[in-house]
Amino acid sequence: MPMLGAILVPHPPALLPEVGRGRERALSDTESAIRAVAAQAARWEPDVLMVVSSHTGLYEDYFHLSSGGGAAGDLSDFGAPQVRLQTGYDTQLREVIASRAQRAGLKTGVFGSQAGWLDHGVTVPLYFLHKAGVTCPIVRIGVSGCGPAAHYRLGKCAAEAAEALGRRALLVASGNLARRREEDGSTPEREERITAALASGEFVELLMETPPEDRQAAGCGLRAFQIMAGALDGRSVAPRLLSHEAPCGAGYAVALFRVTGREESRRFVRA
């Protein structure tokens, strides 16, 4: 059972004290929850992290897997150049993911952006994971303009590739929710439905096509969450929503999904 599970985390750089300089106190629930899931990840001792970020190599109909043997990144763009991380890539797993995805009809590979710099959608989660002692290689996966079913299939291919290689894999879905609140200050209904799906582990809501008027409420994380759902296809999971808060007009959720076995009914896309 190489798929250990998944963690879902937001990536506002202000979570880090080096960037927030006190502003992170407004995100205390989120920060505590991320530290908790990072600690759990360390206890699982994964061989590899499959990190999905909406800020990594975005293309309309192509899923980009970052090339090379590894990458480094810092938070200079957010006023903290001293926060610098480096990670290696699991190149063998990357190749098998690409091969399986291509056989599933998904345009996937390392062509396109060759930037060796980690985006903040990867750097922020790795900051907490590294501090918790998780320093294994990663596979860095971008989202695309394709629909929910394609993202789900990619996640399924990633999990199958890890299983084929015997990797104890943990998927990290990096993404924020809404970028705004409703006029009365309430949480958008679409965001409430997404967080309810995360809390229950019933991912059908994540796979609904988002109408244009709701896309802000879905935030920059929904496609990453769809890949996560695919990686957990056919697996029974113990879901745990650790936090959900919405400071400054943005929605941040932190969740943990531990794989506990197989469950045929947990196939939300028949493909």
> Which tokens sit at 39?
């600690």
pLDDT category at 267 given cuts 50, 70, 90 is confident
The DSSP code for 126 is: H
Instruction: Give dist(CA 215, CA 222) in Å, integer.
Output: 9
Instruction: Give dist(CA 207, CA 202) in Å, integer.
Output: 10
What confidence score (pLDDT) does residue 184 get? 58
What confidence score (pLDDT) does residue 187 get? 67
The residue among 85 and 209 whose pLDDT is bigger is 85
The DSSP code for 21 is: T
CATH classification for the domain delimited by 3-262, as one of 3.40.50.2000, 3.40.50.970, 3.40.830.10, 3.40.50.720: 3.40.830.10
What ranges do the domains of the chain cover? 3-262
What confidence score (pLDDT) does residue 61 get? 94
Task: Transcribe 127-154 into DSSP letters.
Answer: HHHHHHT----EEEEE-BSS-HHHHHHH
pLDDT at 188 over 90: no
pLDDT category at 179 given cuts 50, 70, 90 is low
Helix then strand count (H, E) for the chain reads 8, 10
